[in-house]
Amino acid sequence: MTRRVVVTGLGCVTPVGNDVPTAWRNICAGQSGVGYITAFDASTFKTRIAAEVKGFDPAAVLGRKESRRMDRYTQFAVAASLEALAAARLSIPVSSPERTGVLVGTGMGGIGTLMSEMEVLRKNGPNRISPFLVPMLLADNAGGQVAIHTGARGPNHCIVSACASGTNAIGEAAEVIRRGAADVMIAGGAESTITPIGVAGFGVMGALSEQNDPPSAASRPFDKNRSGFIIGEGAGIIVLEELEYARSRKAPILAELAGYGTTDDAHHISAPLEDGSGAAMCMRLALAQAGIDPAAVDYINAHGTGTVLNDKGETRAIKDTFGAAARAVAVSSTKSMTGHLLGAAGGLEAAISVLAIRDGMIPPTINYETPDPDCDLDYTPNQLRRKTVRIVMSNSFGFGGHNAAVIFRRLPEGSE
């Protein structure tokens, strides 16, 4: 008998709000989280804007001592996980700790800690760097800290697949439950790379928008005048449970994670296949696992970064996968508001997808002004759309050619 997987809790720390209610309200309102960089002096950079998390106080969530022993991306992950578990009404330590696992993805891990400690090394020598440097910079530290703070003692590892990390983490966490290795998984992504080296690195690749004024108008996925993505930070975490386990404890079931697909372009380290065939194959695999006809999908939360090649390739992939249904499905990129959270993007966008089902709201793609002949689908321009949403696909693609898609489905009335 196939073990079915459901979503019972959501948590987030984002550029548009540091909890789920605030972030969702601002996303539905089309509120941009992009502004001038405050984390460092970016006056000499071509890109001087980013989607920073604002007003986040890690000491208030984790305590001063504990928070100082974590990189910022790990702080985000733990805070979002605690919110998600509270929403799922799971006790801390969690029920059946050996049957509860953690899978938090990230693209770059503790790059902020590495930068700051390199400066300590340069100025003061090797004996003055922090003894917590190594664990703080490791990509798996977020998952380890989430386990420490929740008591989850089941399967725990880290997915690193660039900007597909969060979605891969959620999809692989669902597979852990399906194969019977856990009943509960805390899964998603976390990232914090708004650092001089992070912004400079993406900048010299030509990946970032240099449209600095006004910042709120710079992220414009699928628009003809798009010029690159806006780097963001944060975390998105969801609680996954085996359906009967969730029912047995009367958990608040928000949606079913019905399908997951993952592939690789095997083409280029940073550029996607222009025909979108790798992404299309990934979407088809997710649909096949879910047993869903493309025409049944109500909404696609697109990867939609605002780069010329990504948006064009994703549009082609949707057309190839959905056929005649491609022009009927609502598509939007919430990165137009949140910026691109890199390895955390898929975690946040999974939560957004579930909220779209819960509330019957399709968030907009803001800053959509000039149609592009190569991007000619329904991108939900600029305004929230209210409609019944039963099935959502969420896409994520990353450097290295990584592709991942997950499908969420509303359970029939009375089956929760």
Give CATH 3.40.47.10 domain extents, the chain.
5-248, 259-408
DSSP, residue by residue, 350-391: HHHHHHHHHHTEE--BTT--S-BTTB-S---BSS-EE----E
Per-residue model confidence (pLDDT) at position 413: 63
pLDDT, one tens digit per residue, over 150-174 is: 999 999 999 999 999 999 999 999 9
Burial of 205 (0-12, 13-18, 19+ CB in 10 A): exposed
Per-residue model confidence (pLDDT) at position 93: 79
> Is residue 282 within 8 Å of 403, Cβ to Cβ?
yes
CATH number corresponding to 5-248: 3.40.47.10
Per-residue model confidence (pLDDT) at position 96: 83
Which strands sit side by side in the sheet containing 5-13, from one edge to the other? 156-157, 100-105, 184-191, 234-242, 5-13, 255-264, 402-409, 391-398, 299-301, 330-332
Q: Which of 28, 303, 375, 402 is catalytic?
A: 303
pLDDT, one tens digit per residue, over 286-300 is: 999 999 999 999 999
Q: Is the pLDDT assigned to residue 68 strictly greater than 70? A: yes
Distance CA 11, CA 254 (A): 13
Per-residue model confidence (pLDDT) at position 233: 98
Percent of the chain at pLDDT exceeding 70? 99
Please report which confidence band the pLDDT of residue 127 belongs to, taking 50, 70 and 90 as the band edges.
very high
| 340 in active site | yes
Q: Is the pLDDT assigned to residue 2 strictly greater than 90? A: no
Q: Which of 12, 340, 375, 402 is catalytic?
A: 340
Per-residue model confidence (pLDDT) at position 145: 97
Q: Is the pLDDT assigned to residue 414 strictly greater than 90? A: no
The DSSP 8-state label assigned to residue 337 in this structure reads H
Please report which confidence band the pLDDT of residue 415 belongs to, taking 50, 70 and 90 as the band edges.
low
Six token digits for residue 270: 């940073």
Please report which confidence band the pLDDT of residue 181 belongs to, taking 50, 70 and 90 as the band edges.
very high
CATH number corresponding to 259-408: 3.40.47.10
Helix 308-322 / helix 277-290 crossing angle, nearest 10 deg: 40
Per-residue model confidence (pLDDT) at position 412: 76
The DSSP 8-state label assigned to residue 218 in this structure reads S
pLDDT, one tens digit per residue, over 22-49 is: 999 999 999 999 999 999 999 999 999 9
Residue 162 neighbours by CB under 8 Å, 6+ apart? 107, 342, 343, 398, 399, 400, 402
Q: Which of 12, 28, 158, 163 is catalytic?
A: 163
Nearest to 299 by CA among 224, 386, 169: 386
pLDDT, one tens digit per residue, over 306-345 is: 999 999 999 999 999 999 999 999 999 999 999 999 999 9
pLDDT, one tens digit per residue, over 208-234 is: 999 999 999 999 999 999 999 999 999
Distance CA 124, CA 117 (A): 10
Q: Average the pLDDT over 92-104 and give the result.
A: 90
pLDDT, one tens digit per residue, over 243-259 is: 999 999 999 999 999 99
Please report which confidence band the pLDDT of residue 128 belongs to, taking 50, 70 and 90 as the band edges.
very high
> Is residue 396 within 8 Å of 334, Cβ to Cβ?
no
Mean pLDDT, the chain, integer: 96
Angstrom distances, CA of residue 363 to CA of 127, 306, 313, 332, 360:
50, 16, 22, 7, 10
Q: Structure pTM? A: 0.97
